[in-house]
């Protein structure tokens, strides 16, 4: 009997991985990380906390050199910035603050961070808040944009980092420390099941459909593969051979995507 996991968004607090600073580094965003990012965006929408603001934190030349020497760690700086943002906006009445961030370093020359938050700034205060966040960052510049469709925020940030369909885009560059971060209140989970054969796989999927949160009819298991209350669904244009391959993979303990 083999084991495999099926990814599904899970509402509620989960325990995130401990922050990692120092010598550990990565050169790409993994497929597992991409699933967690998209799941977090879905969770935020379900909770009425759509990720409606997109920020890009870039570095001045001097700080790029500090990052290259290991003197400055992007994940540590983002933690500092997010803590300060959370404290300020809570004082101003925004009691729930959620976020997803991803770092990249194209060609190992331009380290920067993309951030999605549920922050909604009134137009009259936009310039002042933007200036405050840039001063708080203190390493260069911050560009802030409004996202018109928060339900697509997960795909938006993955597109921003140049994440390829297979999650192996080498152009993302080397990043020291954590490569991404998700606030605990929208974090996702991955559940492991035994899948000895097709019949068991079908039973598991039926059981999963009953766990979808109230009012949610669709959960994304992988790129183009969806879990609905009626079973598996695929994006328009998926041919029969691809569908059968996913079913076969499930029976053999292989995760879709």
Query: Does 234 lie in the same domain as 161?
Result: no
Query: Does 94 lie in the same domain as 43?
Result: yes
Evaluate whether residue 120 is within a structural domain.
yes
List the domain range (segments joined by +) for residue 204. 190-251
pLDDT-above-70 percentage for the chain: 61
Query: Does 31 lie in the same domain as 144?
Result: yes
Burial class (CB in 10 A: 0-12, 13-18, 19+), 215: exposed
What is the predicted pLDDT for the residue at 251? 55
Evaluate whether residue 86 is within a structural domain.
yes
Considering the chain, what is the average pLDDT of its residues? Answer: 76
DSSP calls for 107-128: GGT--EEEEEE-----GGGHHH
Q: Which of these three, 171, 186, 201, is where a domain ends?
A: 186
Q: How far is CA 59 from the centre of its chain?
A: 22
pLDDT-above-90 percentage for the chain: 30
In contact, 122 and 85? CB cutoff 8 Å: no
> What would the 3-class secondary structure string for 187-199 be?
CCEEEEEECCCHH
> Higher confidence at residue 23 or residue 84?
84
Evaluate whether residue 101 is within a structural domain.
yes
Burial class (CB in 10 A: 0-12, 13-18, 19+), 57: buried
What is the predicted pLDDT for the residue at 214? 61
**Residues 69-105: pLDDT tens digits?**
989 999 999 999 999 999 998 888 887 899 999 999 9
Query: Does 168 lie in the same domain as 145?
Result: yes
Give the count of domains, the chain.
2
Query: Does 196 lie in the same domain as 81?
Result: no
What is the predicted pLDDT for the residue at 249? 67
Residue 24 pLDDT exceeds 70: yes
Query: Does 194 lie in the same domain as 181?
Result: no
Evaluate whether residue 2 is within a structural domain.
no
Give 179's DSSP letter: S
99 pairs with which residues across the strands?
117
Q: Which of these three, 186, 201, 225, is where a domain ends?
A: 186
What is the mean pLDDT of the segment spanning 208-227?
Answer: 65
What is the mean pLDDT of the segment spanning 222-248?
Answer: 65
Residue written as tokens 């991955």? 190
| Upper half-sphere CA count for residue 56 (Cβ side, 13 Å) | 15
* Residue 106 phi, psi dihedral angles, 5° rounding: -55, 130
Least confident residue range of 108-117, 170-179, 230-239: 230-239
* Residue 142 phi, psi dihedral angles, 5° rounding: -130, 125
Query: Does 217 lie in the same domain as 139?
Result: no
**Residues 138-159: pLDDT tens digits?**
999 999 988 877 777 777 788 8
Q: Which of these three, 157, 186, 215, is where a domain ends?
A: 186
Non-local CB neighbours of 190 within 8 Å, separated by 6+ positions: 5, 6, 7, 8, 32, 35
What is the predicted pLDDT for the residue at 84? 95
Query: Does 151 lie in the same domain as 227?
Result: no
| Maximum mean pLDDT: which of 46-55, 160-169, 231-240 | 46-55
Query: Does 227 lie in the same domain as 135?
Result: no
Q: Which two tokens stand for residue 117?
A: 């938050």
Q: In the structure, what pLDDT confidence band is assigned to residue 244 with cuts at 50, 70 and 90?
A: low
**Host H or E run for residue 98:** none
What is the predicted pLDDT for the residue at 63? 96
Evaluate whether residue 3 is within a structural domain.
no
What is the predicted pLDDT for the residue at 6? 42
Q: Where are the alpha helices (DSSP H) in the chain?
A: 31-46, 61-68, 74-91, 126-137, 153-160, 198-209, 240-251
What is the predicted pLDDT for the residue at 209? 61
Evaluate whether residue 12 is within a structural domain.
no
What is the model's pTM?
0.68
Residue 200 pLDDT exceeds 80: no
Query: Does 110 lie in the same domain as 124?
Result: yes
Query: Does 147 lie in the same domain as 40?
Result: yes
């Amino acid at each position: 009997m083999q084991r495999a996991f099926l990814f599904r968004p899970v509402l509620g607090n989960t325990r995130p991985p401990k922050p990692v600073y120092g010598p550990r580094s990565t050169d790409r965003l993994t497929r597992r990380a991409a699933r967690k990012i998209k799941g977090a965006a879905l969770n935020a929408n379900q909770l009425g906390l759509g990720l409606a603001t997109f920020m890009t934190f870039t570095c001045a030349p001097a700080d790029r050199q500090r990052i290259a020497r290991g003197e400055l760690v992007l994940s540590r700086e983002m933690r500092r910035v997010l803590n300060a943002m959370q404290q300020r906006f809570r004082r101003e009445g925004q009691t729930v603050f959620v976020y997803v961030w991803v770092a990249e370093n194209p060609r190992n020359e331009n380290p920067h961070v993309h951030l999605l938050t549920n922050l909604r700034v009134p137009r009259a205060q936009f310039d002042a808040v933007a200036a405050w966040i840039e001063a708080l960052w203190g390493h260069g510049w911050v560009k802030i944009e409004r996202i018109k469709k928060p339900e697509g925020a997960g795909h938006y940030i993955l597109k921003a980092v140049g994440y390829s369909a297979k999650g192996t885009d080498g152009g993302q560059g080397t990043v020291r420390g954590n490569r991404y971060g998700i606030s605990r209140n929208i974090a996702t989970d991955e559940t492991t099941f035994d899948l000895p054969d097709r019949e068991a796989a079908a039973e598991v999927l039926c059981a999963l459909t009953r766990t979808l949160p109230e009012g949610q009819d669709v959960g994304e298991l992988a790129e183009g593969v969806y879990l609905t209350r009626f079973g598996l669904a695929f994006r328009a244009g998926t041919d029969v051979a691809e569908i059968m391959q996913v079913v076969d993979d499930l029976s053999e303990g292989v995760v879709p995507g």
